Structure 1
Amino acid sequence: MRRRLVLTLALILSGPLTGPALAQDRAATLADIRAELGSLGAQIQALRGELVASGPSGIAAAGGVTALERMDAMEAALTRLTARSEDLENRINRIVADGTNRLGDLEFRVCELEPACDINAIGATAPLGGAAAVTPAPPPETPEGDADQGSMAINEQADFDRAREVLGQGDFRRAAELLATFAQTYTGSPLTAEAMYLRGLALSRDGDATGAARAWLDAFSAAPEGPRAPDNLLGLGQSLNALGQKAEACTTLGQVGARFPEAPAAAEAARAMQVIGCS
């Protein structure tokens, strides 16, 4: 009992607070971190109780009075970390709420420009990033010789290549239709984000500024932090300007540099703002 207490206490006192117990991976949510902090606090309280109950000899074996002092310091550090995680959670919630409101306003304005769009049917805008961060599960192992799985992957790539080929041929309306079908058919594909961006590009080149704006807005909403997010915002801003919505276009183009300052689209957005005359 005493030996287990000494070893456990030594491990906790020597281990950093930022180790695996607090951050198992990058996908850990704030709720997970706060749960870990609470668990560590409870363990320290339990060890303190065992240490005090073991008497002077147990305290001496664990390092003397300094062991209790270090436990006090750890509890204080846990309290500070918990407060910081709560503050960070509140800040993230405010950012998500603001971004969601801005996105909802853009959806409303784009809908106003579409003759067949029913504003009452838009519904509430989904929060940016989804309701909660989800750690993707590892893909299941594919048994060797699974002909159906291999065929599906081949068809997926073939369908995407076909749509991109049609786009390159200049049949923009047909390309937009093929890309829309691809995005609906292969919703979880790594190529879907690219297909949604290219659909906006196809509609823009076809002269359908309203359709392009809607397509790029949908693409950005689906992946606001994805690799094509800067390009989707850029396309949306340019489409809004083509539709005569200068103020909205300037706001959207300004967000490209604010959100993605290192992306090539940021420089293009800045040039577009100069041409438009954004203040």
Structure 2
Amino acid sequence: MLSNFLKAILLTFLVPLATNSYAQESLDETADVPKEFSNFQQEVFDNLGLIFEKNSDELTAIQEKLSENLDIIFDNRSQELTNVQDEVFQNLENIFETNSKELSTVQSELNNLSEQISEIRLELAENKASIVKEAIEASENIVASGIKKSAGSVLYRLDAIEEEMRNLTGIIEELQFYTKNIAFDATNRIGDLEFRITELEGGDLSLLGNSRVIGGSVKTSNTNAELAITEKSNYDNALKLLNENNYELALLEFDKLIKAFPNGPLTVAAHYSKGDAFIGLTAWDQGVNSYLESFSLEPNGKYAQKALKSSYDASLELLKQNDFQVALIQFDKLIDITSDDTFLAGVYYSRGDAFTGMQDWKSALRSYLKSYELESDGNYAAKALKASYQTALMPLNENNFELAIIQFDSLINVIPSGPLLTAAHYSKGDAFSELEEWKAAGKSYLESFKLEPDGKYAAKALMNVGISLGKMQKINEACNILNRVEARFPRNQIVEEAQYEMQILGCS
């Protein structure tokens, strides 16, 4: 069959060549084709047609058989690739399970070593002198191969443990690197297998996407994170030092903890306890900063209210030490981070005390009045009003009468009623009198009298109204007012002063 097919192909190529050659040779002789050649050519074409028709049927059969064989081959290959993929996944799972157990074992050893180091550091802190002595004696045991540990030498025990930790850390890093490489290589291999299977099955390669990353990913939550053993151990050691009043070492341990676990579950507590350590060292300013850092990390957390109160108490210590500028800075920080009116009333009151210490009467009055406005019926209300009046008096005593008038006006606008309001109007009249503004002075004295006609300032306020009228050359009105002083307050010592003023004015 194959030989007939090859003969047909040869005839297909040879006949046209022979025809062309013959046609070229006879072109000049004659245009007529010999009859014998035409018959031969026709016979050849007839034979070729039969051959091609027969071979076409055979080729169709071969093609169908080949297609069936290819389907069988693709099915077998697809099953083999699927088996290979399952085997790869199974091997990878075994590898990761093994590595996970190894890492867990190493982590457990590291945690144990960390606890031992913490205990040794504590021992070092308590027995520093004896340890140094032991270290000196142990130095005699140095040999060519290295340092031998002397019996009971804590320093060399510490060195050995730290060396072991370095070795374990190196092993962990190697395992991590090895595991990452396995995951990366496996991911690539699976992606390649998926590509080949899709290609063999005639699927759409554009729909493959990215291969699933081997090993997956772990999501953690800061809110629900469990305490790491090392972090908890370090915090407990630092807290123990704090409770033993070993503040400097406690600060060092808290700083290490915060640096190692900046977002850990115990970070807020570490900042708060660090503030306690600073307070133990009477470093009030740094203590406040630590408390405020604790508050800022969790404004609604467990330590929030304690941190605010401790910050305020430490700021008060700065105030007692007459460190007014620093105290003001800390009071302002507290004002910026909270909106609790009750708490802020106390802060503003203390802020007023700081300004008073600096003799900044204007700022002091504003702070006292703000304290009163925040909680007009609270613990600081009465104190704030009293302090406001005393602060307003200070410029008057220093002969700064213009500022005194401004201060009294600020006070009068806030005080609703009562003896302090009466006193404020009276003192405002004194400030106007010193400026010889008699009309304004008389109005202030009269307002003081009208508020409390039988009060502490009543008799003197009424007399000063008369004096003010006399200074304004309103003699008759002045005399009438001064006469009313004698009539209304007959037993008051102020009557003699009123009579003297009447004599000066020539009252009858």
* TM-score tier (shorter): 0.3 to 0.5
- Structure 1 length normalisation: TM-score? 0.46
Which protein, 1 or 2, shows the higher relative CO under an 8 Å CA cutoff with sep ≥ 6? Answer: 1
In terms of fraction of residues, the more helix-rich structure is 2
| TM-score, structure 2 normalization | 0.26
